[in-house]
Structure 1
């Protein structure tokens, strides 16, 4: 899609064709415009891994907080 825009197709036409807003297209261009396809795929993989790890840290933090609460109560 970015290559189509580089070839001269109007951005509004591309956005309509692909069912997205012009603002989204410009966001993608800013984010992925200077990348090759393999670099964009690698970025997507890293973002997915980062999202998964953040979720894991949040879950473990909740578990840790729960254990501290249970441990702090006097039996």
Structure 2
């Protein structure tokens, strides 16, 4: 299974067959956690999770919408 995934990713990123930039993002982070007593470490984890979520939303929605607009593709959401 792992070999298949790596081969699939390599084919997707192969620039000899198409132009433009490509990326595959894989992110596995600890979920947002709430405890009776949170430590500074938990504050840092939750803050980082929030910033990563903002980055994901911006990349997947705002930047994608701007690209659609540049290419005159209707965007409905």
For Structure 1 versus Structure 2, the TM-score category normalised by the shorter chain is 0.3 to 0.5
TM-score by length of 2: 0.38
TM-score by length of 1: 0.38
**Which has more radius of gyration?**
1
